[in-house]
Amino acid sequence: MAQASLEERARRIRRTILRLAATPSGCHLGGSLSMVELLVVLLGRVMKFRPDEPRWEERDSLILSKGHAAAGLYAALAEFEFIDTEELVQRYNADGSPYTGHVSAAVPGVEFPTGSLGHGVGLGVGLALGHRLRQRTNRVFVVCGDGEMGEGSNWEALQVAAQHRLSRLTVLVDRNGGQNDGPTEAILSQAQLVERLRAFGWSTVEVDGHDLEALGSALEAPSEAPRAIVANTRKGAGVPMLRGKGPHYAVFNAEQLRRALSSLGEVTP
């Protein structure tokens, strides 16, 4: 059954992310784990792409605007065969490797280098405009963080997308409620995010960001306007050991990795 398969893929992606947290420099763990279902539904159900031909002209594009969650994207790209999982784990953040701690476009499947926040929506608007000018039907998906919505450039770009009715552009906000210094709501509230996106002219829905079926339906529903999906998620989601305390950044030792993997029902490699 397709959904079971996506669940299995999500579990494998989480396993890789945990292994990346156990590399010498660690990774942005909480926000990588929170968006796993978003990436799995996009890559496993919605998007058109060819892993052996990452620049295929008819591909749909995925832009990780919250580029600090590179470990999550790389792990997903490995699951969908753009890159090799073992090479990723061996070389993540290592000298001379393309797998930098913020997303690098040298990695197959990555469209743009991101990590400085507030660029993904604008880049996505440009892609969507470019496809329209060429009369192509490629879809463009941008994953933002909820803390990242504090960047004004996002709101500039959201306005442009609405003005030009870029219906093939979708923004997914990984609303995991946390940012670098703590809870998003305590630092710069994104309250009424759904209403604000709607007021900006976007066709907006709020879903459980770990519900594969809800995400898939939201992504496949017809829309005349650009589409925003506010996905309520949890930092560190899917790893029982991290429940309720998913860290923003983590460097695991061997014992922590063993415990995290075993809480996923896995054994240490």
The two three-digit tokens of residue 67, written as one number: 């580029």
Show the binding pattern over residues 122-161: x = contacts other proteins (CB under 8 A), - = does not.
xxxxxxxxxx-xx-x---------------xx--xx-xx-
Nearer to other proteins, 7 or 108 (CB): 108
Task: Tell me if 109 contacts other proteins by CB under 8 A.
Answer: no
Q: Is 111 in the site for other proteins (CB under 8 A)?
A: yes
Residue 62 near other proteins by CB under 8 A: no
Q: Are the CB atoms for 179 and 187 separated by under 8 Å?
A: yes
Question: In the complex with other proteins, which residue's Cβ is closer, 154 or 233?
Answer: 154
Answer for which of 112, 141, 202, 252 binds other proteins (CB under 8 A) is: 112
Would you count residue 75 as binding other proteins (CB under 8 A)? no
> What radius of gyration do the chain's Cα atoms show?
17
Instruction: Select the residue interacting with other proteins from 90, 116, 180, 268 (CB under 8 A).
Output: 116
Binding other proteins (rule: CB under 8 A), the pick from 12, 66, 119, 235 is: 119
Neighbours of 168 (CB within 10 A): 20
Least gap, CB of 52 to other proteins (angstroms): 20
Binding site for other proteins (CB under 8 A): 105, 111-114, 116, 118-119, 121-131, 133-134, 136, 152-153, 156-157, 159-160, 163-164
